Chain A
Amino acid sequence: MGFEDQQHPHTDGRAPVVVIPTPYEADRPRPAASLDRQVVFDLDKLEVFYGKFRAVRNVTMQIFRNEITAFIGPSGCGKTTVLRCFNRMHDVTPGARVAGGLRYHKADLYGDKVSATEVRRRIGMVFQKPNPFPKSIYENVAFGPRSKGVRNKSELDAIVERSLRSAALWDEVKDRLKTSALGLSGGQQQRLCIARTIAVGPEVVLMDEPCSALDPVATAHIEELMRDLKNRYTIVIVTHNMQQAGRVSDRTAFFTTEVDSQFSLRTGTLVEYDLTTNIFSHPQDERTERYITGRFG
């Protein structure tokens, strides 16, 4: 398929602001209108504080099932901070506090009786730097299911194989499952981390700049994997790479930093959230436009 075949369905007469080549766009189903999509996360004026400092304010959005949602924006705009709310990763950061509404399938994620461990079994996370445990490949993948109480050897074997296959890593490592995960290349380690995450059987996979430490080939691998995983999981990805957001995501949220000159505080906030094609072809907000065309501040 060549790029010249592509139609940009949202140009309707007006010239698009930028054209990001998205070779897979024609293959994938159009995200349906938000009304008939199942809402996974419902954010209502979400705010995050580190101590007294308000890092993020006024984030209201809905994240839909079996879609890839990308968070883009300049450094320090709060993308990662918002992402880490979703699986309560802020619980382990001293001084961090989340305010406002954050619902996961209508349940309050920060409710009184909600266990962070239970939340994280449903909402997994892949980090910026590949961080396999200093254990064997097998033990890395089996760790999550073991924490859940799976003890049966054959059951664990099956989960490990299934997860590694889903992460497109099985063929490369099936003969060396008992060797250290630290001997894998960076791209393989990141796919191992994805396998480790989906081994627990989550519904949502959060990815915090999963490709920023990887070369273009490994990045392409991971992106292909994400498109594949979308059928079974809901994916939220933070990325600094706008082309990546354009290539893989269904919806894109643009965050930016608002500077309070009086106190010189920088607070992140959500500027615009829409279908990825809309964001990249004709964004509504001037700040979004300046960012995606590279004319940002």
Chain B
Amino acid sequence: MTAGTLDEPIIPGADLRATRSWRSIKSAIMTGLMTAAVVVVALPLVAVVGAVFSRGSRVALHGFPAFFVAEVPLIARKPGPGMGPAILGTLLATGAATLISVPLGVMGSVYLHEYGGRNVFSRVVRFMANVMTGVPSVVMGLFIYVLWTLHFGYSAFGGGLALACLMLPVVIGASEQMLRLVPDHLREAGYAVGASKSRTILTIVLPAAIPGIVSGALLAVARAAGETAPLLFAVGSASAYNPNLFKEANTALSLQIFGNATSSFVPAQDRAWGAALTLVLLTFVLTFVARLVTARFARRR
């Protein structure tokens, strides 16, 4: 074993095999611990996805695509498909929520980061947005129930409003973070060729931040799609297709999971598993498509 010291320097061409020191043992222990931590974190995730797939696929894939198309049976104790109206309802409510919260959130974050900066108003707004991320979703549902549903009745749009309240702070936070990552020298370069501030933001800062903003928005959409509590008050319940965003009670996958899973009939419980699988697949497809779109965006530049 060679150890270089001041008195006895390492000779070139000497033994280059690794020396077993306390340092290398420590490194091995820490690596082991971290691998263990990853496994512990991944286990519940794998278990949940596995359970949803194994129990849900039996129902959902039986007589494909009946489960994804047929209307919800009116008599819960009888077996049979489907979740068609719930898929539509989820898409309507989540879509409305996205259309409301993403433009508002992005514009808000542009104000906060590019214009407001550290002034009192933007500090207050930023603080409130932070607080709002911690508000339980049922409170958002109640809020919309009082403000909207009591006046206009059940509709997918009411659910969308409640989900938008939930998504807004997430979108604001993520977008502002992304704007912060756009280096100032790009803004200066814009100003230096005589572009106005608004033009610099629209044509340089936002395009540079867009991949990150889309990721943030996706996270918010995925979270909103699975929310039950805000929809309970605002959407009502329906078992037939209701393509009208603004009128009449609707339904959603999360509501169907909740309703069917709490039923005492086995066929209904099976449908809940099927609905859960449908929701997982829907979120997966949405995320995948959005990723593809952003990747195309990024390559264009």
| Residues of A in contact with B (beta carbons under 8 Å apart) | 87, 89, 92, 94, 116-118, 120-121, 124-127, 129, 131-136, 143-144, 147-148, 180, 193, 196-197, 199-200
Contacts and interface: CB of A to CB of B under 8 A. Distances in A.
A120 B194 CA distance: 5
Nearest to A91: B191
23 contacts: A87-B192, A89-B191, A120-B193, A121-B193, A124-B192, A124-B193, A124-B194, A125-B192, A131-B188, A131-B189, A133-B186, A133-B190, A133-B204, A135-B207, A136-B301, A143-B190, A143-B193, A143-B204, A144-B193, A180-B301, A196-B193, A199-B193, A200-B193
Interface in B166-211: 183, 185-196, 199, 203-204, 207-208
A193 B189 contact: yes
A117 B194 contact: yes
Contacts of A89: 188, 191-192
Interface residues of B, number: 20
Given A136-B301, A180-B301, A118 B192 contact: no
Interface in B51-68: none
A193 B188 CA distance: 12
Contacts of A200: 193-194
Contacts of A136: 301
B50 interface: no
B207 A134 contact: yes
Interface in B4-32: none
Contact of B185 (A94, A118, A127, A135): A127
Contact of A118 (B194, B207, B208, B301): B194
B186 A131 contact: yes
A94 B193 contact: no
Of A134, A148, A180, most B-chain CB atoms within 10 Å: A134
B158 to A, nearest CB: 41
B117 interface: yes
B237 to A, nearest CB: 48
Contacts of B195: 117, 143-144, 147
A92 B192 contact: no
A135 B301 contact: yes
Contacts of A124: 192-194
A87 B203 CA distance: 21
A117 B196 contact: yes
Contacts of B204: 133, 143
Contacts of B196: 117, 147
Contacts of A133: 186, 189-190, 204, 208
Interface in B83-120: 117
A143 B199 CA distance: 10
Contacts of B185: 127, 129, 131
Nearest to A206: B192
A124 B185 CA distance: 14
Contacts of A121: 193-194
Given A134-B301, A180-B301, A197 B188 contact: no
Contacts of A143: 190, 193, 195, 203-204
B123 to A, nearest CB: 15
A80 to B, nearest CB: 12
A196 B192 CA distance: 10
Contacts of A126: 192
A148 B194 CA distance: 8
